[in-house]
Amino acid sequence: MLANYLKLALAVLRRRKFFTFVSLFGISFTLAVLLVVTALLDSIVNGYPPETNLERTLGVRDMVMMSPDGKNTWQGPAGYGLLDKYVRTLPSAEKVSILSAEAYWVAAYKNGSKFDVGFKYTDGEFWQILDFQFLEGAAFTADDEKNANFVAVISKSLRERYFGEANAVGKTIEIDGQRFRVVGVVPDVPVYRFTPFADIWVPISTSKSTTYKNELMGGFQAIILAKNAGDFPAIKAEFREALKHAQFPDPKEYNQLYGGADTVLESIARMMFQAPEFDTHVERLVAIFFTLMLLFMLLPAINLVNLNVSRIMERASEIGVRKAFGASRVTLVGQFVTENLVLTLCGGLIGFILSIAVLHFLNTVQIIPYGKGDFHINGRIFFYGMCIITFFGLFSGVYPAWKMSRLNPVQALKGGV
């Protein structure tokens, strides 16, 4: 039966070229956009080098500090003092690294030209949690950080800027009025990998001032490596507990802290819904994302439903004939849904090809700094794509098919609906 459905579906689609074209266009365009967006999100949220340990990593990023009466809130990145005191000490954490909340853009000069350099403070553990492949040299260590050694790891692009084709290790580099000795060179990190991204990484202790050391809020984040994701709940609970007992320099000014050890997705949710709570409402973020996807799919889906319904008229006599010769309602629904699925799958195939082309383009032109060659359709995204397409095919096919199958055969034969 299925083979027949397929054969018929292809015959119908071939014969109704305009309908097929319009439908395919709508479906493939929609899917291509969704796939490109998904691929971009996937490459942020899921673990690609150097974030290969992402599935067992949590981050402490934005926090909320609040006054006793709840009227004053301070929202933003955590401070070094807080992270040092309450995150580094978490019993269930395997490793903790503290680093700048984001890369600062500092001006650098070379041969009289000025350019911006992504600059990040970090520590020795950073290089152990993240999986950088060193092109030359090695990472700086916890001792470098402890002793405030003026050492730096730089990106491949920065090395080219300063030293051309030559090696950089052992040479010095001047950034923002400070001179650092290069100890290692790593490949470029795309700018949207906000945790690892920078052009130059230096020990936190080389900072010009030391006031950061005791601050609860401002300028830093921590990443926590767990033995495995199974330890996440324990780490989260320990951190929450620690925050509840946090000590404040002036409890009359601020005496409450909210935040959490979050996965990437949870961090994004926390930033979006900044609320003085422990919960991140990540499910809200996911719901919003799926709603947007649905809304985006809705238009072409409704369009296809509409086309399909209006074609009931055109195909009324066919339906009458099939019923007269023994097609049951279920069989007819099966036939029309299959037809629609074949159509949407063809559209999906084109959509896949389109999205691969778009991603290839994004990969080559490097619109996003250092985002070169970083986007692809992997098995996971292919799976999402197939889900979207199947949903689309069923959504736009079932209602018209159901309507078709309920036609009175005599009326249908006369071409009326």
Partner 1 sequence: MIQLEHIEKVYRTDSLETVALSNINVAVQQGEFVSIMGPSGSGKSTLLNMLGLLDEPTAGTIALHGKPLQSFRDKELAQVRNREIGFIFQSFHLISDLRVVDNVEIPLLYRKGLSGSERRKLALEALDAVGLTSRTKHFPTQLSGGQQQRVAIARAIVGKPSLLLADEPTGNLDSAMSEEIMSILHELNQKRGTTIAMVTHDERLATQTDRTIRIFDGRQVQ
Q: Summarize as ranges the residues that interact with partner 1 (CB under 8 A).
A: 1, 3-4, 8, 11-12, 15-16, 317-318, 320-331, 408-410, 413
> What radius of gyration, in Å, describes the C-alpha atoms of the chain?
29
Q: Angle, to 10 degrees, between the axis of helix 329-365 and the axis of helix 282-314?
A: 130
Shorter beta-carbon distance to partner 1: residue 276 or 334: 334
Kindly state the smallest distance separating residue 35's Cβ from partner 1, in Å.
Answer: 32
SS3 call for 313:
helix
Q: Looking at beta carbons only, is 18 or 325 nearer to partner 1?
A: 325
CB of 357 to partner 1, least distance (A): 33
Shortest gap between Cβ of 324 and partner 1 (angstroms)? 5
Nearer to partner 1, 181 or 329 (CB): 329
CA distance 308 to 12: 13
* Angle formed by the axes of helices 17-45 and 329-365, nearest 10°: 50
Shortest CB 346 distance to partner 1, Å: 17
Nearer to partner 1, 170 or 416 (CB): 416
What is the token pair recorded at 38? Answer: 């998904």
Q: What burial letters (b/e) apply to 186-202, b meaning 16+ CB within 10 Å?
A: bebbbeebbbbbbbbbb
**Residue 285: CB minimum distance to partner 1, A:** 46
Is 396:327 a contact under the CB 8 Å cutoff? no
CA atoms within 13 A on the CB side of 167: 8
What distance in Å separates the CA atoms of residue 57 and residue 64, rounded to the nearest whole number?
21
Closer to partner 1 by CB, 117 or 337: give it: 337
Minimal distance, residue 307 CB to partner 1, in Å = 16
Name 130's Cβ contacts closer than 8 Å, sequence gap at least 6.
Answer: 50, 51, 53, 195, 196, 223
Taking the least distance from each CB to partner 1, the nearer of 131 and 318 is: 318
Q: How far is the CB of 304 from partner 1 (least distance, A)?
A: 19
Task: Considering the complex, state which of residue 263 and residue 335 has its C-beta at the smaller distance from partner 1.
Answer: 335
The CB-of-400 to partner 1 minimum distance in angstroms stands at: 17
Contact partners, residue 152, CB within 8 Å, separation at least 6: 140, 173, 175, 180, 181, 182, 183, 200, 201, 202
Nearer to partner 1, 161 or 323 (CB): 323
Tokens 């998904």 map to which residue?
38
Cβ(242)–Cβ(253) below 8 Å? no
CB closer to partner 1 out of 373 and 415: 415
Tell me which residue of 76, 122, 120, 78 sits closest to 96, measured CA to CA: 122
Name which of 252 and 325 has its Cβ closer to partner 1: 325
Pairing assessment for the beta strands 178-186 and 151-155 based on DSSP bridges: parallel
Taking the C-alpha atoms of residue 353 and residue 76, their distance in angstroms, rounded to an integer, is: 41
Supply the minimum distance, in Å, between the C-beta of residue 338 and partner 1: 13
Contact in structure between 88 and 145 (CB atoms under 8 Å): no
**Contact in structure between 130 and 122 (CB atoms under 8 Å):** no
**Least distance CB 310 / partner 1 (angstroms):** 17
Backbone angles phi, psi at 394, to 5 degrees: -70, -45
